[in-house]
Structure 1
Amino acid sequence: MLTTGLVLVVVLALAFDFTNGFHDAANAIASAVSTRALGLRGALALAAVMNLIGALLGTGVAVTIASGVIDTPVGEDALHVVTAALVGAITWNLITWYFGLPSSSSHALVGGLVGAALASATSVHWAGVLEKVVVPMVASPVVGLLLGYAVMTAIRWAFRNTNPHRAGHLMRRAQVFSAASLALGHGLQDAQKSMGVIVLALVVTGHQQDYRVPLWVVVACALALAAGTYSGGLRIMRTLGRRIFHLTPPHGFAAELSASSVLYLTAFAFAAPISTTHVITSAVMGVGATTRRSAVRWSVAGDIAKGWVLTLPCSAAAAAAAHVVVSLL
């Protein structure tokens, strides 16, 4: 029974990874497509390849997800918790994708784990959730916004005497590399969330004793994320690329460079699971604010912020409901 349940968890984790990919494809390529630095299919292919490479570069975030959110007692009940958490996270991903709302797949997964754990009376590591999830969740968008503003200001100063047409051409080319950098950071961060859940399932079923990530888990999650990314996420792409602020190549380059820097720092230095969506969205706001504050559609930004706030409790509620159903089956 545990073996069957473990297979189900692996399938659901890879399905979550796939939805993460198409939900978050817009993160890496929305600005590059909207500024016409890249065509849509070329941008998706680039993002998919870089997501794949990024997913192979580290496992620190995966260990945080596997060991730092909830207790891991061995047994079928614990496997029900993991299954319900994935169902809750996938449900929230699909809802926010349908409405074109950029939300965090990472926080949906953490919310799912917490909700399913509470529904099953499993202990939650609240200190770990606060330190590794809540604090980075609040801090990373602020850093992204400020860094985006600073980088865009520096670009405006550096190209102050350059012909605008030439500057735009150079930035459009540079944006290919910044989009690739952001996609690499997305792969580094987001594929590890599913790796962590699979490792958690392996531990609670007694298939391994520690939280190392097996190679087959790394490869499977990397491929699932890349496939999901290539399938695209056009609804959310319109929100990030057009509705918040009308991006130009310099703005897109600055936003992508700022966001990818935050992703690398948190993944390698802190092993913290932050949201690519939060960081790139706030970076877009930051670069837009350098033009003038009214250039940013703050009402759209407010709607996105509501989605950020709702992600943890809504995915937790969906996972808690799923746990009731899973336990009865």
Structure 2
Amino acid sequence: MNPELIVLVLVVITALAFDFTNGFHDTANAMATSIATGALTPRVAVALSGVLNLIGAFLSVEVALTVTNAVVHIQDSSGAPRPELTADHGHALLVIVLAGLIGGIVWNLLTWLLGLPSSSSHALFGGLIGSTIAGLGIAGVNWAGDGSKLDGVIGKVILPAVLSPLVAAIVAAIGTRLVFAITVGVARRWSERGFRWGQIGTASLVSLAHGTNDAQKTMGVITLALLAYGAWTDTHAVPFWVKLACALAIALGTYLGGWRIIRTLGKGLVEISSPQGMAAESASAAVILTSSHLGFALSTTHVATGSILGTGLGRPGAEVRWGVAGRMVVAWLITLPCAGLVGAAMWWIAHLIGGLPGAIAIVVVLVALAGAMWLRARRKPVHAGNVNAEWDASSAGAEPVSAGGAR
């Protein structure tokens, strides 16, 4: 087995590890409100979400192609593959992709530890952009595409990041206001019960939508690595085994459940009722599915958070915990640069050591950091049994202050 093939295997394994962290990091996007209102029990919610993420991953490849083609300039001005990226079975590009993936995973795990619903998508793109700049310079990033349409990082990643939570918040706020206006004469007991059934449907739709968007990103990364190595040549398609592996990885991560983030979204931002939950999930699903169709690699976390915030604004008398919202926004703003710094640092470590030993070294760094954060999280675990414990406004994180059972 030649060194470049070993690096390719490391990239594929690390990409699937990122996909797994993406799954448990983003379970909250679909199921936090349903768990918080009691529409679904925690374990049933994550199992349902996992199955639907698996199905959704096969429904589209538009976002995967965005990741393959919209981040790194893999062709020169004449359209030919860049020689510095294709030499030695694409070793340079493989190391860039590996370092970028590690940047995304490290940021995902850190924000999970803190209970912050930041964007897995932007962690991935930040890591890839950082490692690309370190390896190729700032011109190595495909910022604006061909100039005639928004098909680079700016159009496919940054603009959706800014607009999607605003759109989702507005849609959810209007939906919530209409729901409460229409049901004003309905007994609360009957209203809550009916909307809990509705939440099951809308939460399922969000899970399906999440699979069509987030699972695609890892498919795109692995396809990029295969293109670099020369094992794949079609920039407009994704190998079936890549689709299957990524679908299984994100589904497994979703099933395990990122309880710390589920707690923050379900209990920390707004005390949410079933009508609000249904409105939030409907708004999220609409925005995510539309973006997947257009190939926009948006953050489902931003969309879900914007929707939940919108329900708080749309319900008369609802309380929005703006301190928690502020922490989320700060996390959003620093995700791209922080993941980018980690990605760049990993590239420099690999570059200084050189060759296969350099690639192995940064994977060892990843394993060490992941292990340290996992051990830290075990000190005050959040799980299905305490995810719905009452939120303490003085608490800085997602850790419950009591061991209250799940509702």
TM-score w.r.t. structure 1 length? 0.98
| Aligned mate of 1:142, from 153, 158, 166 | 166
Letter in 2 for 1:10: V
In the alignment, the residues of structure 2 paired with residue 175 and residue 79 of structure 1 have an alpha-carbon distance, to the nearest angstrom, of: 42
1:260-281, Cα deviation, whole Å (9 max, x unpaired): 110000000x201011110010
Alpha-carbon distance, 1:294 to partner: 6.5
Letter in 1 for 2:45: A
| Aligned mate of 2:143, from 108, 126, 136 | 126
Native 8 Å contact 2:123 2:336 kept in 1: yes
Range with bigger deviation, 133-142 or 318-327: 318-327
Alpha-carbon distance, 1:155 to partner: 1.2
Match of 2:14 in 1: 12
Range with bigger deviation, 195-204 or 21-30: 21-30
In the alignment, the residues of structure 1 paired with residue 180 and residue 42 of structure 2 have an alpha-carbon distance, to the nearest angstrom, of: 27
Match of 1:49 in 2: 51
Alpha-carbon distance, 1:297 to partner: 0.8
Structure with greater helix percent: 1
1:96 aligns with 2:111: yes
Match of 2:67 in 1: 65
Native 8 Å contact 2:57 2:212 kept in 1: yes
Match of 1:298 in 2: 322
Alpha-carbon distance, 1:208 to partner: 1.5
Match of 2:339 in 1: 315
Native 8 Å contact 2:169 2:311 kept in 1: yes
In the alignment, the residues of structure 2 paired with residue 282 and residue 114 of structure 1 have an alpha-carbon distance, to the nearest angstrom, of: 25
Native 8 Å contact 2:271 2:318 kept in 1: no
1:224-273, Cα deviation, whole Å (9 max, x unpaired): 000000111111111100110001111111101100110000000x2010
In the alignment, the residues of structure 1 paired with residue 13 and residue 159 of structure 2 have an alpha-carbon distance, to the nearest angstrom, of: 31
Show structure 1 runs of 5+ residues with no match.
none
Secondary structure in structure 2 of the residue aligned to 1:46: helix
TM-score w.r.t. structure 2 length? 0.79
In the alignment, the residues of structure 2 paired with residue 116 and residue 290 of structure 1 have an alpha-carbon distance, to the nearest angstrom, of: 42
Letter in 2 for 1:87: I
Alpha-carbon distance, 1:120 to partner: 0.5
1:288 aligns with 2:291: no
| Aligned mate of 2:102, from 82, 87, 90 | 87
Inter-CA distance 314–90: structure 2 relative to 1 (3 Å threshold): same
Secondary structure in structure 2 of the residue aligned to 1:307: helix
Match of 1:250 in 2: 275
Alpha-carbon distance, 1:293 to partner: 7.1
Match of 2:361 in 1: none
| Aligned mate of 1:232, from 257, 262, 280 | 257
In the alignment, the residues of structure 1 paired with residue 203 and residue 314 of structure 2 have an alpha-carbon distance, to the nearest angstrom, of: 21
Letter in 2 for 1:145: A
Native 8 Å contact 2:288 2:300 kept in 1: yes
In the alignment, the residues of structure 1 paired with residue 299 and residue 251 of structure 2 have an alpha-carbon distance, to the nearest angstrom, of: 17
Aligned length: 328
Inter-CA distance 292–11: structure 2 relative to 1 (3 Å threshold): same
Secondary structure in structure 2 of the residue aligned to 1:126: coil
Range with bigger deviation, 241-250 or 207-216: 207-216
Secondary structure in structure 1 of the residue aligned to 2:72: coil
| Aligned mate of 1:110, from 121, 125, 136 | 125
Match of 2:197 in 1: 173
Letter in 1 for 2:212: L
Native 8 Å contact 2:73 2:141 kept in 1: yes
Secondary structure in structure 1 of the residue aligned to 2:136: coil
In the alignment, the residues of structure 1 paired with residue 292 and residue 286 of structure 2 have an alpha-carbon distance, to the nearest angstrom, of: 10
| Greater Rg over alpha carbons, structure | 2
Q: How does 1:18-37 map to 2 (within 5 A)?
A: 18-37=20-39
Match of 2:398 in 1: none
In the alignment, the residues of structure 2 paired with residue 171 and residue 77 of structure 1 have an alpha-carbon distance, to the nearest angstrom, of: 53
Alpha-carbon distance, 1:291 to partner: 2.4
Match of 1:182 in 2: 206
Letter in 1 for 2:247: A
Inter-CA distance 124–249: structure 2 relative to 1 (3 Å threshold): same
What's the % identity of the aligned pairs?
44
Match of 1:40 in 2: 42
In the alignment, the residues of structure 2 paired with residue 226 and residue 267 of structure 1 have an alpha-carbon distance, to the nearest angstrom, of: 18
Match of 1:192 in 2: 216
Show structure 2 runs of 5+ residues with no match.
75-84, 145-151, 359-407
Range with bigger deviation, 152-161 or 168-177: 152-161
In the alignment, the residues of structure 1 paired with residue 325 and residue 192 of structure 2 have an alpha-carbon distance, to the nearest angstrom, of: 26
In the alignment, the residues of structure 1 paired with residue 318 and residue 200 of structure 2 have an alpha-carbon distance, to the nearest angstrom, of: 28
1:220 aligns with 2:245: yes
CA-based RMSD of the aligned residues comes to 1.0
In the alignment, the residues of structure 2 paired with residue 246 and residue 160 of structure 1 have an alpha-carbon distance, to the nearest angstrom, of: 19
Letter in 2 for 1:197: V
In the alignment, the residues of structure 2 paired with residue 196 and residue 18 of structure 1 have an alpha-carbon distance, to the nearest angstrom, of: 15
Alpha-carbon distance, 1:126 to partner: 1.0
